Amino acid sequence: MGKITIDRGLARRQIPQLNEASVPGRRGWKLDGASADRAALQNAAAADRSLFADTAPALPELSELDVVRHFTQLSGLNHSVDNGFYPLGSCTMKFNPRINESVAALDEFTGLHPLTEAENCQGILALLHELEEKLCLLLGYSRFSLQPAAGAQGEYVGLIVIRAWHEDRGDHERREILIPDSAHGTNPASAAAAGFDVVVLPSDEDGCLRAETVRKAAGPRTAGLMLTNPNTLGLFEHEVQEIAAAVHEAGGLVYYDGANANAIIGRVRPGDMGFDVCHLNLHKTFSTPHGGGGPGAGPVGVRAGLEDFLPGPFVTRREDGSYAWEEPAKSAGPVHAWYGNSLVLLKALAYIRMLGGAGCREASGMAVLNANYVAHELAAYWQLAKPGPVMHEAVFSGKKLRDRTGLLTLDVAKRLIDYGIHPPTVYFPLIVPEALMVEPTETESLETLDHFIAVMRQIHDEMEENPDLLREAPQHAAISRPDETQAARRPVLTWLQQERGDS
Partner 1 sequence: MSGYIPHTDDDVRVMLERLGLADVADLFAAIPSELEIGEETLEAVGRGSDEIQLLKHFRAAGARNRTAAEAASFLGAGCYDHHVPAAVDQLAGRSEFLTSYTPYQAEVSQGTLQAIFEFQSQIALITGMEIANASLYDGASALAEAMLLAAAETRRQTIAVSDNLHPRYRAVLGTYARVRGLRLCTLKSDPATRQLGASALTQLTADERRDLALVILQSPNFSGVVENGIRELAAACHEGRSLLAVSWDPVASGLYRLPGDEGADIVTGEGQGIGTRPSFGGPGLGFMAARQKLLRRLPGRIVGATTDRDGRRAYVLTIQAREQHIRREKATSNICTNQALIALRSTIHLALLGPEGLGEVAGRCYHLAHLAHERLIASGAFTAENQGPFFKEFRLRAHVDTAELNRRLLAAGIQGGLRLGRLLPESPDDYLVAVTERRTPDEIDRFARIAAELAGEEGA
Residues 362-391 that bind partner 1 (CB under 8 A): 362-363, 365-366, 368-370, 372-373, 376-377, 389, 391
The secondary element (H helix, E strand) that includes residue 145 is: strand 143-145
Q: Draw the binding track, 74-113, toward partner 1 (x: CB under 8 A; -: no contact).
A: xxxxxxxxxx--x-x--x-xxxxx-x-xxx-xxxxxxxxx
Q: Given the complex with partner 1, which of 195 and 406 has the nearer CB atom?
A: 195
Rounded to an integer, what distance in angstroms lies between the CA atom of residue 339 and that of residue 306? Answer: 19
Q: How far is CA 260 from CA 71, 92, 184, 254, 285, in A?
A: 33, 8, 11, 16, 8
Angle between helices 122-139 and 342-378 (to 10 degrees): 30
Residues 280, 282, 286, 290, CA torsion sign: negative
- Give the shortest CB-346-to-partner 1 separation in angstroms: 7
Residue placing its CB nearer to partner 1 in the complex, 403 or 491: 491
Residues in 121-160 that interact with partner 1 by CB under 8 A: 121-124, 126-127, 134, 137-138, 149-153, 155-156, 160
Exactly one of 71, 204, 304, 379 binds partner 1 (CB under 8 A); that residue is: 71
- For 444, left (φ over 0), alpha (ψ -120 to 50), or beta? beta
Do 109 and 343 meet the contact criterion of CB atoms below 8 Å apart?
yes
Interacting residues with partner 1 between 17 and 46 (CB under 8 A) = 17-19, 26-31, 34, 36-38, 40-41, 44-45
Interaction of residue 72 with partner 1, rule CB under 8 A: yes
Q: Is 456 in the site for partner 1 (CB under 8 A)?
A: no
Stretch that binds partner 1, among 168-176, 299-307, 459-467, 488-496 (CB under 8 A): 488-496
Give dist(CA 378, CA 385) in Å, integer: 12
Nearer to partner 1, 259 or 404 (CB): 259
Task: Name every residue whose Cβ is closer than 8 Å to that of residue 31 and which is 6 or more positions away in sequence.
Answer: none
State the DSSP string of 308-344. Answer: GGS-SPEEEE-TTS-EEEE--TT----SSSSSS-HHH
461 exposure class (CB count in 10 Å sphere: 0-12, 13-18, 19+): exposed
Choice between 400 and 491, CB closer to partner 1: 491
Euclidean distance between CA atoms 73 and 71, whole angstroms: 5
Compute how many residues bind partner 1; rule: CB under 8 A.
Answer: 200
Q: Which is nearer to partner 1, 45 or 465 (CB)?
A: 45
Q: Which of residues 393-412 bind partner 1 (CB under 8 A)?
A: none
How deeply is 268 buried, as exposed, middle or buried, from its count of CB atoms within 10 A (0-12, 13-18, 19+)? Answer: middle
Which x/- pattern, by CB under 8 A, does the window 173-212 give for partner 1?
A: -----------xxx-xxxxxxxx--x--------------
Q: Which is nearer to partner 1, 5 or 59 (CB)?
A: 59
Region of 52-60, 250-258, 395-403, 457-465 interacting with partner 1 (CB under 8 A): 52-60
Q: Which of 226, 227, 306, 417 binds partner 1 (CB under 8 A)?
A: 417
Q: Could you say whether residue 503 binds partner 1 (CB under 8 A)?
A: yes
Q: Are 257 and 228 contacting, i.e. CB atoms less than 8 angstroms apart?
A: yes
**Shortest Å distance, C-beta 404 to partner 1:** 25
Q: Under a CB-based contact definition with an 8 Å cutoff, are residues 414 and 473 in contact?
A: yes
Scanning residues 215 to 254, which ones bind partner 1 (CB under 8 A)?
Answer: 235-236, 238, 241
Select the span of 55-63, 219-227, 301-309, 400-408 touching partner 1 (CB under 8 A): 55-63
The one-letter amino acid code at 255 reads Y
460 makes contact with partner 1 (CB under 8 A): no
4 contributes a contact to partner 1 by CB under 8 A: no
Q: Return the residues of window 259-278 that contact partner 1 according to CB under 8 A.
A: 264, 266-269, 272-273
